[in-house]
Structure 1
Amino acid sequence: MGMLTEFKEFAMRGNVIDLAVGVVIGGAFGKIVTALVDKVIMPPIGLLIGGVDFSKLAVVLKAASVDAAGKEVPAVMLAYGEFINALLQFVIVAFAIFMVVKVINKLHKQPEAAPAAPAEPSEDVLLLREIRDALKK
């Protein structure tokens, strides 16, 4: 029974719940970014460079074939277009996170306090100044 209680305390801590919420929101945000890149950003870019669909870009390493049993063997492809899409998605997500962190940091930034007035000199310093001034006279 002790382990179950300990697990319950662990799971109910704020950090674990915050992490779970972050993962769920991150997954949903990832889907939004994927749709944005695949359906909104990449088609115009592909159109600008001659109608190329980045997700379809690939190098065929071995063509599709039919084996001796009559089963079709799919082609072996190096799909670098998917990599380009993933790279663009990463850049967009990284930029979005950067902007959110920047806004949060700006909101948390405390206004700079005016510099404190210099402290009053000690009695010893005042006494030494008086002696100095008296000697000058």
Structure 2
Amino acid sequence: MWKEFKKFISRGNVIDLAVGIIIGGAFQVIVKSLVEDIIMPFISLFLGGIDFSNIFISLSGGTYATLAEAKEAGAATLNIGLFINAVINFLILAFVIFMIVRLINKIRERQKKEEAAAAPTTKICPFCHTSIPIDAIRCPNCTSELEKKA
């Protein structure tokens, strides 16, 4: 079992996946900070100074000025503002990942085009050694039959 596990874990794609998860987790922290520390204050400013992190509904019936105060009192709350922050975090993260995947796809397309352009368009006739189109099945110079493409 140990040998199988060692073989599984040492495969390249497993290690790539682990690195991707670690980088994704670190990137998520950056996006969370971007939303909470930069974007939400601007949104709050335009909406009259609303603090989204303190938008909540107390389910226990009490009245609390802040979410921290409600939690300290042990009140059950629906944290609407925190949910809005989480949705904005998700949308930004999804957009950034979309842009990265889009960029990678464009790079791959460019590489495929370059490889196609670099592919040979001619071949040498094995009988008369002249250059002929790659798709030719008969040499136009010596009329020899060439191997057909499989």
Both proteins in one fold, TM over 0.5: yes
Specify the alignment match of 1:111 in structure 2: 113
Q: Which has the higher contact order (CA 8 A, sep 6+)?
A: 1
Secondary structure, in 3 states, of the residue corresponding to 2:59?
A: strand
Q: Between Structure 1 and Structure 2, which shows a larger proportion of helix residues? A: 1
Post-superposition Cα deviations, 1:73-116, rounded to whole Å, max 9, x if no partner, equal: 511111111110000011000100110011101101032968x9
Size of the aligned set, in residue pairs, is 111
Specify the alignment match of 1:32 in structure 2: 30
What does 1:92-131 correspond to in 2, within 5 Å?
92-109=92-109, 110-111=112-113
Specify the alignment match of 1:20 in structure 2: 18
TM-score (structure 1 length as normaliser): 0.72
Larger CA Rg, structure 1 vs 2: 1
In the alignment, structure 2 segments of 5+ residues that lack a partner are 64-71, 122-132, 137-150
Specify the alignment match of 2:67 in structure 1: none
Post-superposition Cα deviations, 1:26-66, rounded to whole Å, max 9, x if no partner, equal: 1000000000000000001001101011111101111459x
Specify the alignment match of 1:69 in structure 2: none
Deviating runs (4+, > 3 A) in structure 1?
A: none
TM-score (structure 2 length as normaliser): 0.66
Identity of aligned residues (%): 52
- 1:81 aligns to 2:64 (yes or no): no
Specify whether residues 49 and 73 from structure 1 end up closer, same or farther in structure 2 by C-alpha distance, changes over 3 A only.
closer
In the alignment, structure 1 segments of 5+ residues that lack a partner are 66-71, 121-137
